[in-house]
Structure 1
Amino acid sequence: MSWESEIKELRQREELARRMGGEERVSKHKSFGKLTVRERIDCLLDDGTFHESGAIAGKAKYDDDGQLIDFTPANFILGTGRVNGRKVVVGGDDFTVRGGAADGAIYGKQVYAERLAHDLQIPIIRLVDGTGGGGSVKTLDSSGYTYIPVNPAWDLVVSNMERVPVVAACMGSVAGLGAARVAASHFSVMIEDTSQLFVAGPPVVKYGMGQDLTKEELGGIQVHRSSGAVDNIAGSEEDAFEQIRTFLSYLPSNIWKLPPVVQGDDTPTRREEKLLSIIPKNRRAPYKIRELLPLLFDQGSVFEMGRYFGGGTVTCFARLDGYPVGVLAPDPYVNGGGLTAESSEKLERFVDLCQTFHLPIVNLVDQPGMVIGLPSEKKGTIRKGVRAISAVYQANVPMVEIIMRRVFGVGGAGISNRHGLNQRYAWPSGDWGSLPVEGGVQVAYRRELEASENPEALLNELLERMEAVRSPFRTAEAFGVEEMIDPRDTRPLLCEWVKDAYELLPQQLGPSQHGMRP
């Protein structure tokens, strides 16, 4: 006697599950240029590392003798595997089975995926391709009753944000709970031409709101490239997987571990001559921040998140002599680099992300302050800005400040916590104060200018007098800035600083004083 027949049945069921929604539906799915969920998992993970759980879960039919006559696998596949050698949980929707909708799912599988990540304390990657919500109203015919909505495993979804890296990819038309699963992550990515994301899809929007829109018009990348609902856009599924692998490479597996240090071939003492002239002498002239970043950080190590949302603030990961860091920087080409409502939200979330996973922060400062004017007031920019400043002040990860140019107003004052040990270096291009001299003079001397017979000449005289006073060397004389440096010395100083920062991190491991939210 043996269990050979049962093992044979197990293998048969596994083979049926690997067929997913069947040849016809798989072919239709691939005709849109999409990989199947199993192909996606194989493409994402290190070769041969996927170990599936719940492979034979699904909906089965039996004959009168109890023999299996039909089997439809659950439309959610989960398991563990490795990314760059580190263990992760991966869960993916199978659109070939009921379009990824909940009425084709076995809810316990999604719950188990979140529980695996939570209890094993390893990252989770969600490959979302469907609604994942309540399914079609047609299910009411079979159930015979309605229900109060509940989001499966949402207690674990929220808790995971506070303890392990959570990544989500929008792989197709994703609505409702599926869209929420994408948004409830530390890093999310959409794919050009094949991804759409919405709270409710076009038919529901047309009926409920009277808006007749295509999927692309309602939730394509032209909508979400700058909406803030997702972080990045990928040109293909393969590009999305590469971005996921790159994102995870900067983070520890959980909040109780240090970020991984990699050995690179860039020298920490590299001094770039371009830094001497990259900031224009003309204070109103912008410069290209994305050309500046590689001059400071390890070659090829800069990974940007959310470029087109709150574009005046740049948030990215990078490495210094192999050590991962978070980077805050300005983009003077967008609102002069000032804080808008959107860029404040972006800054707040990124600082919280670095705080959660104990990444030291390099703050490259050229901050003219919060963007002013009626449109900014209507968006409640001051409250959003204060939330961003609060995130900076609540963070206790090591932070270093490089003042490249401007520091003005509430936004400039709050971009770094200057009430503790503020390791700060300033370039000779530094320019700071409550207001820029050009505008401040006209406000401060308004009466004198109005009373002057030659206001233009008086204004020029005042500006000329102030020009010497605004010199950063005057501030350094009063120890108002700790150290003025040659910009070319910035990378060597940062590479020295980051080693000190990582010596402090073991004392900070574990949960942050406030939980991370999406």
Structure 2
Amino acid sequence: MPLSESELEELRRRRHAARAGGGEERHSRRRGKGVFSARERLDGLFQPGSFQETGMHARHHSPELGDRELPADGVVTGTGYVDGRLVAGFAQDFTVAAGTLGKVHANKIVELMRFAMHTGVPMVAFQDSGGARIQEGVDALSGYGDVFYNNVLMSGVSPQIAVIAGPCAGGAAYSPALMDFVIMNRKDAHMFITGPAVIKSVTGRQTSMDEVGSAAMHASVSGNVHFIAEDEHHALRLVKELLSYLPANNTEDPPHRLSPDLALGRDEGMNDLVPNEQFTPLDMHAVIERLVDNGRLLEVQADFARNLIIGFARIEGLVVGIVANQPMHLAGALDIDAADKGARFIRFCNAFNIPIVTLVDVPGFLPGVEQERGGIIRHGAKLLFAYASGTVPKVTLILRKAYGGSYLAMCSREMGADAVFSWPDAEIAVMGAEGAVDLLNRKDIEAADDPGAERARLVQQYRDEVASAYLSAERGYVTDIIEPAESRAVLALTLRKNLTKRELRPAKKHGNIPL
């Protein structure tokens, strides 16, 4: 029996009401500030015509809210294609009850997450919410619990990307914190557990939103945010670029673009990057630009712990995760924040079958009372744990120096590297030559006719007889000594040959990483 006109009209009315969200007036005010609607965000993410909405007609049944209409219950959920690949996505609608989360709102998100897990596709979440729906009481808290639980179930199964596009306060902040990557809009977005008003009422301290909840603070101080988006369009570009490096799930390889013919020529410009003086820092960004395809590194957490660089790139089409010391900041020493930053990135790469390239130019762990009291031992152990537990291909290149425990923490052969290469003048030792000589030969230097010349002689002797990369190669700790100009070709060839690596570990639920 065909549908009547009234039945069709009712369907159209309900669809229109759901799509209208909080109404044109509210959307217009936001557009005037350059803020997208929930549906505009999803339309910008997915290929035209590919989005299928789920739960459009979902509706709360809360006596406290009465018959109040909440179109789509304040969250738009569904699936579509991004560059030809299926992705699940949801966007909270701030124009509907401030995007607050109630039980039905949460159920829609959870159903989408379960679909993403069962089909093995990434999920993108646009967070723009006033938090828990107070009128629903414990039901709202239960909804958050359901979301958090499924965030954890999904972790390591399919990639999860959060975009903080508006407020994300209180318990709401824990869902993006449980995801793999957080992108935050520089304007119109904030994220915190307790805001300035609560902090003042409890502690008496006057503070500002910029200080506790801004994108700049989270990107550079707390480390909660991985990328800052300058506007809505930039946020969408970042999501798409990030997805372009990631597999759909943990059973697939990342989207390599392999050519049957490798370009294995020399890059003489790499030789020119090496400073003439031993203590002149080497800019690791300049090295990475010459190693990766088109000089393009999608750097993650660029403003946090800048003494360590992490990010995604391709080398001869093969997707890799880059972990590199940056001597231009803190001389490249490892500290608490760098260890945390590196360990989590390494674990993500391992979960999603992304080979890891480690570029080493490290003088040691950062000394200091604050570092020791802050738990540098525990935090540094995270880096060791992450590398040792990784079973993806791991290739290490030592550029100039690798001293002490930091040599091990930057993926030495003993920590599971499949191959370790070194530039000819690199030093690998318990400590730097100058420090070792001062510690071991201080009295001899002081007694010499020319202490300066004697110290210089002993330093060179230590470099030649103790710290030379050739000694490490002789003992099998270094796979080969290579010219800087050969670096890209050697890495490309080694990565390609290790692409089919398979490694089994002892059966266990999971290791106990030092948190």
TM-score (norm 1): 0.89
Q: How much does 1:275 deviate?
A: 0.7
Higher relative contact order (CA 8 A, sep 6+): 1
In structure 2, the residue matched to 1:23 is 24
Q: How much does 1:261 deviate?
A: 1.7
Q: How much does 1:362 deviate?
A: 0.9
Partner Cα separation in structure 1 for residue 140 and residue 153 of structure 2? 29
Q: Does 1:431 align with 2:427?
A: yes
2:411–2:417 Cα contact (<8 Å) kept: no
Q: Does 1:223 align with 2:220?
A: no
Partner Cα separation in structure 1 for residue 172 and residue 413 of structure 2? 42
In structure 2, the residue matched to 1:490 is 487
In structure 1, the residue matched to 2:2 is 2
Q: How much does 1:484 deviate?
A: 1.0
Q: How much does 1:243 deviate?
A: 1.1
Matches within 5 A, 1:117-128: 117-128=116-127
Q: Does 1:198 align with 2:192?
A: yes
Matches within 5 A, 1:139-218: 139=135, 151-218=145-212
Query: What letter corresponds to residue 404 of structure 1 in structure 2?
Result: L
Partner Cα separation in structure 2 for residue 422 and residue 265 of structure 1? 23
Matches within 5 A, 1:263-274: 268-274=263-269
Partner Cα separation in structure 2 for residue 496 and residue 489 of structure 1? 11
2:397–2:422 Cα contact (<8 Å) kept: yes
Q: Which structure carries more helix by proportion?
A: 2
Question: How big is each residue's C-alpha offset from its partner over 1:161-184, in whole Å with a ceiling of 9 and x where there is no partner?
Answer: 120011001101211233212211
TM-score (norm 2): 0.90
Q: How much does 1:434 deviate?
A: 0.2
In structure 1, the residue matched to 2:344 is 349
Matches within 5 A, 1:276-291: 276-291=271-286
2:147–2:175 Cα contact (<8 Å) kept: no
Query: What letter corresponds to residue 487 of structure 1 in structure 2?
Result: P
Query: What letter corresponds to residue 316 of structure 2 in structure 1?
Result: D
Alpha carbons of structure 1 residues 46 and 490: separation in structure 2 relative to 1, 3 Å: same
In structure 2, the residue matched to 1:79 is 78
Question: How big is each residue's C-alpha offset from its partner over 1:239-280, in whole Å with a ceiling of 9 and x where there is no partner?
Answer: 111111111111111111111122579962243221112121
In structure 1, the residue matched to 2:36 is 35
Q: Does 1:113 align with 2:112?
A: yes
Partner Cα separation in structure 1 for residue 94 and residue 232 of structure 2? 15
Matches within 5 A, 1:54-73: 54-58=55-59, 72-73=71-72
Query: What letter corresponds to residue 490 of structure 1 in structure 2?
Result: S
Q: How much does 1:491 deviate?
A: 1.4
Number of residue equivalences: 505
| SS of the residue 1:117 aligns to | helix
Partner Cα separation in structure 1 for residue 44 and residue 139 of structure 2? 41
Q: How much does 1:464 deviate?
A: 4.0
1:449–1:455 Cα contact (<8 Å) kept: yes
Question: How big is each residue's C-alpha offset from its partner over 1:279-323, in whole Å with a ceiling of 9 and x where there is no partner?
Answer: 213121112211211211111542110112121111111112211
In structure 1, the residue matched to 2:49 is 48
2:38–2:91 Cα contact (<8 Å) kept: yes
Pairing partner for 1:441 from 437, 440, 444? 437
Partner Cα separation in structure 2 for residue 517 and residue 247 of structure 1? 28
Q: Could you tell which deviates more after superposition, 286-295 or 350-359? A: 286-295
Partner Cα separation in structure 2 for residue 184 and residue 496 of structure 1? 36
Q: How much does 1:72 deviate?
A: 3.9
1:258–1:505 Cα contact (<8 Å) kept: no
Alpha carbons of structure 1 residues 264 and 130: separation in structure 2 relative to 1, 3 Å: farther
Unaligned 5+ runs, structure 1: 62-67
Unaligned 5+ runs, structure 2: none
1:393–1:417 Cα contact (<8 Å) kept: no
1:221–1:233 Cα contact (<8 Å) kept: yes
Partner Cα separation in structure 2 for residue 195 and residue 360 of structure 1? 34
Query: What letter corresponds to residue 190 of structure 1 in structure 2?
Result: M
